[in-house]
Chains A and B, each alone.
Chain A
């Protein structure tokens, strides 16, 4: 355990990348998820079709493939560079890949939230003459968001764990799981304490998140 603790700065560094990946991807996937949901329920058939195709397609593709496509396809083959240093370049591509993937789950969650709103709410809004965007903005989304706080928390936890896939070839972001693998391979600390240490690190991130969203979900729950 001492050997592991003497390398604690590497562990902290790994988790700092994990947290950065999580926060930025959560932000972008939330925005993209709302956009996809709005498209999914919009009056324009083409937008509905595009959103459905995107969500169903990406949702059925492994995250490893999505991130590989960002790393090997868009970054290497297409040669699009997002930052000056390689480390930041792959980091931003990982954020894009994770956001593209997670936004599908955000969208599906929001859509299931919209499905729980009583029909009368929307009919009343329409009878008042609200347009589609007004209806969505003032009636549907505020209620839907409140019912899906819990599931959105689950999506965020899944995203936190999914950031480990960003260590995949072509990207290789120096996040926690990659740091753990490197410490295994370099043999600078015994494997078991290292694994337990990193596992505790992830539990420190995910368990409070679960409790927080559980608490928040109860607090904002819509009484019907």
Chain B
């Protein structure tokens, strides 16, 4: 059983209703003050000593401030979208999609590798997964950029001026990190398939490999789908790290645009909106898949995230807890 928010309090009576109205008014008041400070600050009239805070010209849209129509005008021109936003979005999606496919392959290989009965497969797989899950993604990206230097310093390979492209570095980093997280998702999903399934498969003479690919994985995939999609949201969001190594993805395009038009705030707002729309859509898909699994009476695998990110999206279980309890924490 779980709580819906409405059971935490009784149906408000006359006094509670009055109190709620008071809180609402207070909230509106505080929110208005906060918004006013932001508005005036970016309007560049907040610290204006000449006009008082309550005069009309303080509140009028300042042509030199961030809210001026000129600052938003670039987003009404076609060349802004064709020159900055759409190429940026394309690069973001290219990096995210490539990394998604590679991360799923990486996750499958090492997730199944960790379940192998040979220790010389199991132990290295575990070490690789734990290593890439435990260090920051940004460090992996920096290291990939520096790989030619490593080749030259360690193996004497004459790499010369050869450089790893920013796209390759972002995709490599995203693949290694998210692949390791997905490996844990796959492992949890496969372990969550009832034991009788693999016992039955082995008793009719199937090999371990056959059991894995024809019995366990097909059943595990449905239960893993919400966690996989949730991780892909993380991956898409993390592709914005490409900004730091000058990969011309969505965020980079917007900062270039903001520098050219000096409209930092409108650019930031519209950029955030684009990310929010994409990610919320993907999150809804994950929730829908989870609900569908719950309706069909199948458990949804939750990643055992010591490394962090996926559990945050999926509602989270403990790092050492096995997903044996009731399935989705979001079930109302």
A95: interface (CB < 8 Å): no
- Which positions 290-332 of chain B face chain A at CB distance < 8 Å? 305-309, 311-313, 315-321, 329-332
Please give, as numbers and ranges, the residues of chain B lying within 8 Å of A76 by CB-CB distance. 264
B1-60 at interface with A (beta carbon < 8 Å): 1-3, 5, 7-10, 12, 16, 20, 23-24, 27-28, 31, 41-42, 47
Which listed residue, A119, A164, A206, A217, touches B3 by the CB 8 Å rule? A119
Closest B-chain residue to A205, C-beta based?
B134
Once A112-B315, A148-B316, A202-B135 are accepted as A-B contacts, the answer to whether A180 and B42 lie under 8 Å apart by CB is no
Interface presence of B139 (CB below 8 A): yes
A62 contacts B311, CB within 8 Å? no
Stretch at the interface among B97-105, B213-221, B235-243: B235-243
A192 with B153: CB separation less than 8 A? yes
A115 vs B258: C-alpha distance when bound (angstroms): 43
Chain B neighbourhood of A44, CB < 8 A: 20, 23-24, 27
The reply to whether B138 and A167 contact each other, CB–CB distance below 8 Å, is: yes
Given A116-B329, A153-B319, A164-B139, CB of A56 within 8 Å of CB of B311: no
Residue numbers in B under 8 Å from A149 (CB-CB): 318
Query: Chain B binding site: helix, strand, loop or mixed by DSSP?
Result: helix
Interface residues of A in 27-53 (CB under 8 A from B): 40-48, 50
Query: With a CB–CB cut-off of 8 A, which chain B residues contact A151?
Result: 311, 316-319
B307 touches A158 (CB 8 A): yes
- CB contact between B251 and one of A57, A62, A119, A157 (< 8 Å): that residue: A62
- Interface assignment of B149: CB less than 8 Å from any CB of chain A: yes
> B172: CB under 8 A from chain A?
no
B134–A112 contact, CB under 8 A?
Answer: no
Shortest distance in angstroms between B263's beta carbon and chain A's nearest beta carbon?
A: 10
CB within 8 A of A126: which of B9, B150, B251, B271? B9
Q: Is the CB–CB distance between A73 and B311 below 8 Å?
A: no
Q: Which residues of A contact B311 (CB under 8 A)?
A: 151, 154-155
A-B contacts, 16 of them at CB < 8 A, read A44-B24, A45-B24, A47-B27, A50-B31, A61-B275, A62-B237, A62-B275, A63-B237, A65-B275, A112-B315, A112-B329, A115-B3, A151-B319, A154-B305, A168-B243, A191-B150
List chain A positions with a Cβ less than 8 A from chain B.
40-48, 50, 56-57, 59-65, 68-69, 72-73, 76-80, 105, 108-109, 112, 114-120, 122-123, 126, 131-132, 135-136, 140, 148-151, 153-155, 157-158, 161-162, 164-165, 167-169, 177, 180-181, 184, 190-192, 195, 198-199, 202-203, 206-207, 210, 213-214, 217-218
